Amino acid sequence: MGRIAFVFSGQGDQKVGMCRDLYETDPTFRAVLEKLDKVHHGLLDSIYNSSDEELMKTINTQPALYAVETAISSLLTQMGVKADVVAGFSLGEIAALSYAGSFSRESGMHIVSKRAEFMQEDSEKYDAIMTAVLRLDEDKVNEIADKYDYVFPVNFNCPGQIVCSGLENEIKSFEADVKENGGRCIRLSVKGAFHSPFMNEASEKFAAFLDTTIVDLPSIPAYSNFLGTPYGNSVKDVLAEQIKSPVLWQKIIEDMISNGVGTFIEIGPGTTLSSIIKKINKEVKVYSTGNVEAIEKIKEEVLC
């Protein structure tokens, strides 16, 4: 089975009512959400009683996903399933660092709420979006993006899947160019050009906020999206840089595998990261955690 990695999902997997069966049946999951609801008032309503349109707003999405992911990782710990190493995709990195002991769950909620606030502010300044490019390699995507002033390859997910951020009017032309070159694009369910220069101000504000916050070094290896390797002696600067910089996800997963990880458990409501990891390496074990059935499978196969 090898070492176990917890990988915490990012924006895009959110939906109203996510993990409801876990909330209704698992006392550990429910207790964590209720505790975080006292820190971030309205959290439970946002997760279970809002609209998809409201939950899709960055300022609501990020705290909601952080809370759900923190509750899932707590549930797994209670079961006896623990990670040897962690990583989080974009906002998931906050939950990963919380799991690794860099800050408490409650402090993590304050951190992710501020991150969401700053990124929402920058998102509202531009008519910008994100699109996933499929079937083309990194060199070709970079070549096409270089034709545009405001299109940036930002998430290097796996072979044949690179996400780009940019202004919507340029993204439309970019997508047409991608199609002409044999690729296809899928728009992401996020509003904003994350991990690009459009987030420069958010990154600066987040860095200033982190300077007022206690952030310890992780107690287990925790990978940085910005570095593509585990954090070193600096967490705050690297975490702030992440907002405006590409996510090196394929590099992270490949490095984990080369260092003995054989089992990946996606912490979150969906299966996006599970699908990406399977495209990077078909030999590793991959599990999701978004419902009771998925958790039962982990009990049967990981705890056996």
pLDDT score for 189? 78
| Over residues 291-299, mean pLDDT | 98
pLDDT score for 190? 80
pLDDT score for 191? 81
| Over residues 44-63, mean pLDDT | 96
Nearest to 31 by CA among 75, 65, 85: 75
Please report, rounded to a whole number, the percentage of residues in the chain having pLDDT higher than 70.
Answer: 100
| Over residues 214-222, mean pLDDT | 98
What pTM was computed for the model? 0.97
| Over residues 87-112, mean pLDDT | 98
Mean pLDDT of the chain: 97
145-191, pLDDT tens digit by residue? Answer: 999 999 999 999 999 999 999 999 999 999 999 999 999 999 997 88
195-214, pLDDT tens digit by residue? Answer: 999 999 999 999 999 999 99
Q: Which positions are catalytic? A: 90, 195
> Does position 1 have pLDDT exceeding 80, yes or no?
no
pLDDT score for 129? 94
| Measured distance CA(118)–CA(130) in Å, rounded | 18
Phi, psi dihedrals of residue 80, rounded to the nearest 5°:
105, 10
Token output for 271: 């299966």
Lateral strand order in the sheet of 261-267? 85-88, 3-8, 261-267, 285-287
Please report, rounded to a whole number, the percentage of residues in the chain having pLDDT higher than 90.
Answer: 97
User: In this predicted model, which residue has the larger pLDDT, 53 or 190?
Assistant: 53
> Does position 54 have pLDDT exceeding 80, yes or no?
yes
227-279, pLDDT tens digit by residue? Answer: 999 999 999 999 999 999 999 999 999 999 999 999 999 999 999 999 999 99
Stated as kind and residue range, the H or E segment containing 5 is strand 3-8
Which of helix, strand or coil describes residue 304? coil
Measured between alpha carbons, how far is residue 174 from residues 123, 149, 179, 187, 193 in Å? 20, 11, 9, 12, 14
> Does position 281 have pLDDT exceeding 80, yes or no?
yes
